[in-house]
Structure 1
Amino acid sequence: MFDLKASYNPTGDQPKAIEALTKTVAANEKHQTLLGVTGSGKTFTVANVIRNTSKPTLILSHNKTLAAQLYQEFKDYFPNNAVEYFVSYYDYYQPESYMPSTDTYIEKDADINEQIDMLRLSATTSLMTRKDVIVVSSVSCIYNLGSPAEYTKMALRLMKGMRIRQTDLLKRLNQIYYERNEIDFKRGSYRVRGDIIDVFPAYQEFAIRLEVFNNTLVDITNFDPLTGDVINRDQLPEERRGSFFKSQTQDIEQYTEHRQKEGTYAEIFPAKHYIAPEDRREGAYLQIQQDLESRVRVLRNAGKDIEAYRLEQRTKYDLEMMKEIGYCKGIENYSRYFDGREVGGTPYTLMDFFPENYLLVVDESHITLPQVRGMYNGDRARKTNLIDYGFRLPSALDNRPLNFDEFLRKAGINLYVSATPNEWELNLSEGRIAEQLIRPTGIVDPNVLILPTKDQIHDLLKRVKDRIERKERVLVTTLTKRMSEELANFLTEKGIKVTYLHSDIDTLERTTILDDLRKGNYDVLVGINLLREGLDLPEVSLVAILDADKEGFLRSEAALVQTMGRAARHILGEVIMYADTITKSMDKAISEVQRRREIQLKYNEDNNITPTQIVKPLRESLIDDDISAQFDSKKGKKKKTEIEVDYMQLPPRELNKEIKKLELEMKYEAEMLNFEKAALLRDKALDLKKLLQ
């Protein structure tokens, strides 16, 4: 079912780990662990386990950057299968909240990334239509999403030759949240031209043309929404062919027949994950009204007349909006009523879209699992204030992430992946632990050197210059944001090409900085705790840990092992710890790295292996280089461009790129509070969009 493509075979510890994990996963053992050092090919091992066990797979990562990296790697390994990406679709998100101490209400504010929204819908659509699915996700997978049963039930299934009136077809499209738009044909919309209905599914990049004549669906074709060119079956991406035609509700003969007859069947899934079936809406509205009246009485009896009035006005307005247009701002806070869940009931999440005994791969489990544990309480604390002060009904508490017990119940067959797994994962695995210490390249764990903190900066400068002469890169980890900035400034004054990473830098800019380091635009990268898990930087030969003897979560055993692992992808990898004492965490971390190093050296000697340097190509950027190049990723300053563009002469695809550039500039000017300039850019982008019509 899963077609693994790779130009190399498992080596070192990989064959043994693959065999052991395949055996336990195939036997549906609930918990197992892959303990693999940095650079040992854990991702390739997991890919082989997926291929061998043929289980739909959810890969859970603790941040968007690593999720994007894993998504690209699995897309490369499985080009003919459905590899999907599911992370938060917000470029900017300010949750609704209330601070009683200052009587400040902050309304929810968000900027949705349309591309990520499409990928999220694509993930659920693939899960509903095929079995060979791998979804790479952040912790977004534990948040309320809507019922998969309703999502599937509401899908519009069309077959060439079926009897259907055009008015009924349009009504069904409206019911699954597709909007009629004759001017701007975009994802999640449809347009009507005589007997022809064009539908742009919210989860894919090609559109569907439906021709209805004499109450019969006479033709179904796929086309490029930008050019209008008809797309034949053999032109569709391989991973989309199955998902477009195959439904789990069909038998295999019917499915085969539809695949042989091009353009005979179409399946259109809803444009939103929150589905409110018409037959359930009236009952939901009535229940909301009853709960509102009950809650208002409680507030008034407690002497909270202002809160009662506020809640009554806000909820009645939401009800009116839902009745009139089927939607309101913050409708997710009423999801319990539409899902038919009990008070406090477990919400539906992405995990519910997977079949029983699916494979859950928890990447960097020592960080990801604690992150999952913490989501529920943080969300509840914020919403309790909103409820107590009359901004929301208590039902808002049921629009929430899973708590940890619910997460474990929804999890399938768990595979924990980490170089430093916690005792929790190891205990649950009960001996089902595959250790992967040997790297396919023969590279061994780095040598560790401990130096005093006196004159540590000047010593570091000398070592950095040595690395630069050899065209190698350096990572430096500090304890504070201020220290990282000051160190970066010091190195800059000394003529070193350096930048720094910290939590204020967004995901896209962080990815750009890491790429710039690999390209040689920077020689040194300074950071705090952002230089640990998952960074794949084979050009880095030196990792310097300042103040290594300051005990804390940034200098714990696991943190130190992970940080040292960043130097384990280079044949000359070295770690320098600047410390005046050796802490317990340092001692344990150094001992573990030394243990692994000795095993690796012995394996190389026994098998006559000479370590070879990793050569890893740079993957394409998440956005077009010609768009991102308009901005300086370090300071956010727009670069000057002197090119005059004759837009009338541009082909549609290039015109689309120009529109993206203008929209990016518009957002930049708005952030700089240059609203007049932003408005001009917006109008210019709208004018260009008209040229596409």
Structure 2
Amino acid sequence: MDFKLVSEYKPTGDQPEAIAQLVDSIRRGSKHNTLLGVTGSGKTFTAANVIAQINKPTLVLSHNKTLAAQLYGEFKNFFPENAVEYFVSYYDYYQPEAYLPATDTFIEKDLSINDEIEKMRLQTCATLLSGRRDVIVVSSVSCLYGSGNPEDFHATAVSFKVGDIVSYKQFLYKLVEALYTRTERDLLPATFRVNGDTVDIMAAFGEFGSQCYRVMFYDNEIEAIWIVDPATGARIQTIDTLTIYPARLFVTTKERINAAVQQIYLDLGKQIEFFEREGRTMEAQRIKQRVEYDLEMIKELGYCPGIENYSRYLDGRAAGTRPFCLLDYFPKDYLLLIDESHVTLPQVHGMFGGDRARKENLVEYGFRLPAAKDNRPLRFEEFEQMMGTTVYISATPADYELMKSEGVVVEQLIRPTGLVDPPLEVRVTENQIDDLLEEIDKRVRVEDKVLITTITKRMAEELSKYFDRIGVRNRYIHSDIDTLERIQILEDLRAGMFDVLIGVNLLREGLDLPEVGLVAILDADKEGFLRNVRSITQIAGRAARHANGNVILYADHCTDSMRYAIVESNRRREKQVRYNLEHEMLPRQAQRSGTGQSTLLASQGEKIQEATPAFYLPAEDHYMQAADVQGTYVAGENLDTLIAKAKEDMERAAKSLDFLAAAKYRDRMYELQKLREENRNR
């Protein structure tokens, strides 16, 4: 099936030229291409047109889960009739096992898996192996970490059709090999239930959630296959064929398991001998106990916690060879789009080193066999070898992309809305919070939203707490917030449930927020990766979708990065203004590109509601004041009692170091004392 792009919009501005140049370059055999597109110029729509015209399986690589979720929603809207899949890390929380020799501390592996994302990962692999060509996978760099062997994943799948002659027992054995569990209770995903000649199977995943299938046998012949309601058993649909894919990515055949177990025993003996020869009996005993326990589980269940550390044996790979990953599931001629490449590629560069340092300690002190080091993310040179025809997409491409593209860059600077880049204004840091509050007040009055970027997560949290005290409706967002909760926070900002979003670098690339009228960059002169020219340009781009967007850089001196960002912004503004004048275009407010990340939220329901506050405090009309002073009181009130109460509250707040609240109670006490004096003088 071919890709079918569905959109009410047509390419405008310099989009048609950019699409034509990219498609022509790819068809002429160019392996590396760069699209330099400013924020809000419709890079995603351009990419969608390129995908539709090239018509190959496509991987869209993003550098974080939040942006990947937004891209997934947008491509889902552009290609409703094609397979659009989502593949990111399924950990809401992940603490890898580690050993700290300095303190003799072993940290057990601890994690929290998001079941919905795990199902989407499995669905991605199943779709790629199904033979479909109209597949778009939106992924984070998680796709470069070790995964199961695609051949084993496919071989372990249970495929059958009506009329097949299948041994009833053999059929059940195959389900168990696919890591499905037999149950006599209510069906859960990845379980099956046997009732006479009927087998009910609850799929581990599916396009519309886990579906329940009923397979009916007559002797050893499959007589019928139904999709049924898991609660009532009522038939929903009759089908002729069915493929049940494994419930986990790390699966293998019985033959591979037997061969792997024998090889693990051999390597275990060598490692024990090595430790004993070195006189390290504690390490020898430790590795013996841990590996033998894992082997017993693998022999009995075909699985054990941390089985990925034995992936080299289960895959049949030689020592030192790279693991399988999602890229192995793609055909050789796939199309690779690297979104925000200036950030994504450095992430790919850095993954291997951090993983190797941790694994070497585990191996050195007898917690893992040396083969555990081969369960790792790809090295950058391995990733390069597996890259398909590539398009680097960025508003600020780095030197690597420019070098690979040999200086040939497709520019996309004109926004379909006619909006020009927001002006960059530099202000001193003295009284910057008071100045920022005044700017927030202006924006809130016209129902615009504000983004504030800080240097650290702690600073974002403390600023959020301060805003809470003075009545500014706000939330903060950074890497400690769960994936789906981050998405919900952005949806709530768009819905008007709060006005100010505070964050670190998560507020940079790709966030489609046309409601944002002001971006404030605190500590803009702190030169570093968060405040280099690319970062400043990307942060400023968050205000580029608003007709009256503005960017304020709070700094005490102008760094080279600030200077270059301002010069480049002025160059782009000049070109955009000239285009608008030539084509008699008036800038208009950008609209949201669709349901976006809410596509992912639809399946979460109450989980998100529990994780995210249901409401935000309303902003007060005069939240700029340090205290909300009472001006009048009802006649007959006991002013002495109120003054004493205000003084008590002030002292309590001061003891708890909440000086803002203390100032508020102090001003209230003074106002009450003044009112009491006025009453006495009447």
**1:473-520 deviations in whole A, cap 9, x for unaligned?**
111222233433443344444432233333332323322222222222
2:153 and 2:252 in contact (8 A); partners too: no
What residue is the counterpart of 2:556 in the other structure?
580
C-alpha distance in 1 between matches for 2:604 and 2:167: 43
Kindly report the root-mean-square deviation, in angstroms, between the aligned alpha carbons of the 2 structures.
2.0
Q: 1:495/1:589 Cα in 2 relative to 1: closer, same or farther (>3 Å)?
A: same
2:3 and 2:55 in contact (8 A); partners too: yes
Q: 1:555/1:332 Cα in 2 relative to 1: closer, same or farther (>3 Å)?
A: same
What residue is the counterpart of 2:215 in the other structure?
210
The yes-or-no answer on 1:100 pairing with 2:101 is yes
Residue from 188, 194, 197 that aligns with 1:195:
197
Please tell me the residue identity of whatever aligns with 1:176: A
C-alpha distance in 2 between matches for 1:528 and 1:436: 27
The yes-or-no answer on 1:629 pairing with 2:634 is no
The offset of 1:626, in angstroms, is 4.7
Residue from 516, 524, 534 that aligns with 2:510:
534
The offset of 1:90, in angstroms, is 1.6
The higher radius of gyration belongs to: 2
What residue is the counterpart of 1:27 in the other structure?
28
What residue is the counterpart of 1:41 in the other structure?
42
What residue is the counterpart of 2:168 in the other structure?
166
What residue is the counterpart of 2:348 in the other structure?
372
The yes-or-no answer on 1:123 pairing with 2:103 is no
The offset of 1:206, in angstroms, is 1.7
Please tell me the residue identity of whatever aligns with 1:36: G
What residue is the counterpart of 1:59 in the other structure?
60
Please tell me the residue identity of whatever aligns with 2:300: E
The offset of 1:471, in angstroms, is 1.1
C-alpha distance in 1 between matches for 2:9 and 2:231: 39
C-alpha distance in 1 between matches for 2:339 and 2:429: 34
Which moves more between the two structures, 562-571 or 268-277? 268-277
C-alpha distance in 1 between matches for 2:110 and 2:434: 46
Please tell me the residue identity of whatever aligns with 2:315: D
The offset of 1:634, in angstroms, is 9.5
What residue is the counterpart of 2:158 in the other structure?
156
The yes-or-no answer on 1:408 pairing with 2:391 is no
The offset of 1:123, in angstroms, is 0.3
Which moves more between the two structures, 356-365 or 150-159? 150-159
2:215 and 2:226 in contact (8 A); partners too: yes
Where does structure 2 lack aligned partners over 5 or more consecutive residues? 617-682
Where does structure 1 lack aligned partners over 5 or more consecutive residues? 233-261, 637-693
The offset of 1:46, in angstroms, is 0.7
The offset of 1:380, in angstroms, is 0.8
Question: SS where residue 555 of structure 1 aligns?
Answer: coil
C-alpha distance in 2 between matches for 1:86 and 1:149: 19
Question: SS where residue 106 of structure 2 aligns?
Answer: strand
1:127 and 1:354 in contact (8 A); partners too: yes
**1:118-152 deviations in whole A, cap 9, x for unaligned?**
11110011001111111111111011111112222
Residue from 121, 143, 146 that aligns with 2:145:
143
Q: 1:226/1:25 Cα in 2 relative to 1: closer, same or farther (>3 Å)?
A: farther
C-alpha distance in 1 between matches for 2:167 and 2:443: 72
The offset of 1:169, in angstroms, is 0.9
The offset of 1:627, in angstroms, is 4.7
C-alpha distance in 1 between matches for 2:481 and 2:346: 23
C-alpha distance in 1 between matches for 2:279 and 2:60: 50
What residue is the counterpart of 1:246 in the other structure?
none
2:33 and 2:408 in contact (8 A); partners too: yes
1:28 and 1:357 in contact (8 A); partners too: no
Runs of 4 or more off by more than 6 Å in structure 1? Answer: none
Question: SS where residue 500 of structure 1 aligns?
Answer: strand
1:92 and 1:110 in contact (8 A); partners too: yes
The offset of 1:393, in angstroms, is 0.4
Question: SS where residue 358 of structure 2 aligns?
Answer: helix
The yes-or-no answer on 1:398 pairing with 2:374 is yes
Which moves more between the two structures, 488-497 or 528-537? 488-497
2:488 and 2:608 in contact (8 A); partners too: no
The offset of 1:349, in angstroms, is 0.4
Question: SS where residue 265 of structure 2 aligns?
Answer: helix
The yes-or-no answer on 1:439 pairing with 2:441 is no
**1:379-433 deviations in whole A, cap 9, x for unaligned?**
1111111101001100101111111111111111111111111010111012442
C-alpha distance in 2 between matches for 1:626 and 1:195: 38
C-alpha distance in 2 between matches for 1:346 and 1:505: 32
The offset of 1:16, in angstroms, is 0.9
The offset of 1:577, in angstroms, is 1.6
Question: SS where residue 303 of structure 2 aligns?
Answer: coil
2:92 and 2:482 in contact (8 A); partners too: no
2:485 and 2:611 in contact (8 A); partners too: no
Residue from 249, 263, 279 that aligns with 2:255:
279
Please tell me the residue identity of whatever aligns with 1:538: P
C-alpha distance in 2 between matches for 1:362 and 1:529: 18
Residue from 554, 562, 565 that aligns with 2:538:
562
Q: 1:225/1:450 Cα in 2 relative to 1: closer, same or farther (>3 Å)?
A: same
